[in-house]
Amino acid sequence: MSIAEKTFLGSLLKAEYLLKDTVIQPEQLESTRHQELMRKMVELKRSGKNIDLITFTTLPDLESFGGMSYLSELLSFADVEKFDGTEKLILGLWKEREKRNILSVAAIHDWEIAKVIAELDKINQLKTEDHTSLQQALANVYEAPWEDQAALKTATTGIKKLDEVTGGFQNGEVTIVAARPSMGKTDVMLHFAKMTGWAGFLPLVFSLEMPEKQITSRLIASTGGFNRAKMRDPKRMLTPTQKNKWSDVIGDLTETHMQIFDGAGQTVAEMRAKTRKLTHQFPRKKPILFIDYLTLIHSKSILRRECPFTGNGNIQIPENDGEGF
């Protein structure tokens, strides 16, 4: 049986206060015996009893846990000082088992990729270390006034004054573009998208209202400087000069590598799955998500998480590059 699990349970026997603080749940242990033993510890603690060898000697089902000899063996593995590291190791092993189980079940039941990604995401979000003390945070920036700051890799908005104010689009940042109806929010978003594409990023446009054909038409019109009304019938309405310019505009827009998803009612889980898929197809490009618009996102996802944003437009650079799936 896992030495890590023996060390974990032995530490709980030696220092029972750890049971109240641990993030590990009984079902996250691999050994069935260890799961039952931890459940018994929780039961004893809730009933106000001590968790020690003396208490276990009074249990009628002691032998189902291996008897006193096995409990004594667990106690010999106890290492309270390394308890945090042991927790982290056990949680990591559990995650790997759960991922394998998810992939096996997904193959048997032919799950959609969005559901697979969502379930794997749920596993990855569990962690034991998610805090920083203010003391450490301050120590990290103590020398800032005397050190050259590392250049941040940001995506330009294509508007110099806006970049000066916002610093461009940055890692893990959410930007909301809000305005009254018919004020040009979608056109502003598409401008941002193509500019970030030309800057070497991967713009992913999730259009929950406007169809792809209309988005493409707007991009061509804005890039070529064409009147949008002429895009309804380019053959008849474009001038010879504009027609000569057409292929150059198409070529320029192709260089953005922009990806358009125009399905209505898309969920957060679906958008996440599509993002990860495209990230693997373009491993050298950082994805930036453009969502038009937020209140049309279908709130029901596999993990039953509500979209945390409100507004009419959203641009986000995901922190996760898609590694690990």
Chain segment 134-190, per-residue pLDDT in tens: 677 777 777 777 776 655 567 788 888 888 777 788 777 788 888 888 888 888 899
pTM of the entire structure? 0.54
Residue 308 predicted with pLDDT over 50: no
The strand pair at 174-176 and 314-316 is best described as: antiparallel
Q: CATH for 3-110? A: 1.10.860.10
Per-residue confidence band for 125, with pLDDT thresholds at 50, 70 and 90: low
pLDDT value at residue 9: 94
Cα 274 to Cα 271: distance, rounded to the nearest angstrom: 5
pLDDT at 89: 92
Pinpoint the alpha helices (H) of 51-132. 53-57, 67-76, 83-109, 113-124
Chain segment 33-76, per-residue pLDDT in tens: 999 999 999 999 888 898 888 898 888 888 888 899 999 999 99
> What mean pLDDT do residues 81-102 have?
89
What percent of the chain stands above pLDDT 70?
86
What is the pLDDT averaged over residues 278-297?
A: 84
What mean pLDDT comes out for the span 115-143? 71
What residue spans define the domains of the chain? Answer: 3-110, 160-316
Mean pLDDT of 101-110: 88
Q: Please give the Cα distance from 80 to 86 (Å, whole number).
A: 9
Cβ contact 53:68 at 8 Å: yes
86's tokens: 């042991």
Residue 310 pLDDT class (50, 70, 90 cuts)? very low
- What is residue 210's predicted lDDT score, i.e. its pLDDT? 85
What average pLDDT score do residues 99-115 get?
Answer: 87
Q: Would you state the pLDDT for residue 317?
A: 47
Of 101, 292, 73, 266, the closest CA to residue 184 belongs to: 292
Please check the confidence at residue 302 and state whether its pLDDT lies above 50.
Answer: no
Percent of the chain with pLDDT strictly greater than 90: 18
| pLDDT score for 304 | 33
What percentage of the chain's residues is helix, strand, coil (to nearest 5)? 55, 10, 35
Peptide bond into 293 cis (omega under 30): yes
Cβ-proximal residues to 135 (8 Å cutoff; 6+ apart), any chain: none
Considering the domain 160-316 in this protein, what is its CATH number?
A: 3.40.50.300
Give the pLDDT confidence of 236-285 residue by residue, as tens digits: 888 898 888 888 988 999 999 998 888 777 777 677 778 877 887 888 88
> At residue 321, does pLDDT exceed 50?
no
pLDDT at position 319: 47
Point out the least confidently predicted range of 195-199, 231-235, 310-314. 310-314
